[in-house]
Amino acid sequence: MKQDAFVARYEAEWTAFEQWLDARAGSARRARSTRGSWQGLADEDMPARYRRLCQQQALARHRGYSPQLTARLQALMQRGHNVLYRPAPPKWHSALRFLMADFPRLVRAQRGCLWASLLLFALPLVLMFTLIQFKPELVYGVMSQGQLSQMEAMYDPARHAERLARESQTDVQMFGYYIWNNVSIGFRTFASGLLAGLGTIFVLIFNGITIGTVAGHLQAIGHGGPFWRFVVGHSAPELTAIVIAGAGGLRLGLALVAPGQLRRIDALVQAGREGGRLCLGILFMLVFAAFVEAFWSSTASMPDPVKFGVGGGLWLVTVLWLWRGGRGVTDAR
């Protein structure tokens, strides 16, 4: 077979293989790939295509075709080998990609439920905080006298530093307690969405009222300073995670109440898969919040500008992470 006939016969295969390599490498932005295929070329077909390419390159050498042709086929073989036989990336690389790109994109995909969750949580919080400034007696409709006395003693400006002072072993114990407490709240917020979304709505409103009542009461009696210094550090990841868990729970509820074009069971399975991936990111946020709460928030010797500066920085980082994370990153692997 002459070289021209050889090239005409296999040119389409080489071009398709080359375009697949470009898509995998992310270098062909105009031909943006989808996960697992490029224009109908499935990833699982590529090893067989690569073996055919090796045979064609050996045949071209044996027949003495031009150096330009054999060099082209050799280059394609080398690129294919680098892609198909490179070692799998370490697991931490996949986890990092999920946290930095996939999770923020998944959160943004829940936009409608996310806004609804934020309103259900934030409005009762702000409303109770404001009302208690004008009608302090409202606090007794939400919390008992014993609970209030405990909160007041904990954040008493005269004894706050003394109460926060503790040994490093106690910090570790509190870290474990905060993990359990935070994760349990996040799980209840998400899982209660299976009650047609009503459970999630109740949990969000209840937590908003409770937090707003505590903050409003402590602010009204002059204990606001120690309270804000304590919560400012871990509030960003913790409160944001609760809102995201609420969005996942509302999504479960919608799958049951309004499945759209899907069967109710199929809509619920899809929402459950998305919710499960959301929970991985939420778990990271809540464990990080517990770490900050145990080892940073309890540090009474830190000056206020540093405390509030770090807290504000964490709010900024959290918002930017969820807003910008994963933008411009393709799904090509």
- The predicted model gives 314-322 an average pLDDT of 96
Between the alpha carbon of residue 221 and those of residues 67, 132, 266, 297, the distances in Å are 87, 10, 52, 22
Provide the total of helices (H) and of strands (E) in the chain, helices listed first.
14, 2
Residues paired with residue 41 on neighbouring β-strands, in sequence order: 38
Using alpha carbons only, what angle is made at residue 304 by residues 149 and 208, rounded to the nearest 5 degrees?
45
What amino acid occupies position 12?
A: A
Q: Which residue has the higher pLDDT, 163 or 146?
A: 146
Query: Closest by alpha carbon to 132, among 202, 203, 206, 209?
Result: 209
Tell me what pLDDT residue 46 has.
83
For the chain, domain boundaries: 3-84, 92-324
In the chain, what percentage of residues exceed pLDDT 70? 89
3-state secondary structure of 270: helix
Q: What does each C-alpha distance from 298 to 40, 229, 231 come to in angstroms?
A: 56, 9, 9
Give the mean pLDDT of 224-239. Answer: 93
pLDDT class of 22 with cuts at 50, 70, 90: confident
pLDDT average, residue stretch 179-205: 94
pLDDT tens, residue by residue, 164-179: 555 555 778 888 999 9
Select the more confidently predicted residue: 154 or 217. 217
The amino acid present at 52, given as its one-letter code, is: R
pLDDT beyond 80 at 212: yes
Tell me the average pLDDT across 228-249: 95
Q: Residue 53 CA to chain centroid, in angstroms? A: 41
Which CA distances in Å does 151 have to 23, 214, 215, 303? 58, 8, 10, 23
SS3 category, 333: coil
Which pLDDT score, from 0 to 100, does residue 162 have?
57
Q: Is residue 262 pLDDT above 50, yes or no?
A: yes
Q: How many CB atoms lie within 10 A of CB 148?
A: 18
Is it the case that residue 272 has pLDDT exceeding 70?
A: yes
Q: Would you give the DSSP letter of residue 143?
A: S
pLDDT tier at 33, thresholds 50, 70, 90 = very low
| Mean pLDDT computed over every residue of the chain | 87
DSSP state at residue 303: -
**DSSP track, 71-122:** HHHHHHHHHHHHHHSSPPPPHHHHHHHIIIIIHHHHHHHTHHHHHHHHHHHH
Indicate the burial class of 147 (C-beta count within 10 angstroms; 0-12, 13-18, 19 or more).
middle
Asked if residues 236 and 320 have their Cβ atoms less than 8 Å apart, the reply is no
Give 90-131 pLDDT, tens digit per residue.
Answer: 777 888 989 999 999 999 999 999 999 999 999 999 999 999
Dist. CA 227–CA 327, nearest whole Å: 36
**CA atoms of 75 and 70, how far apart (whole Å):** 9
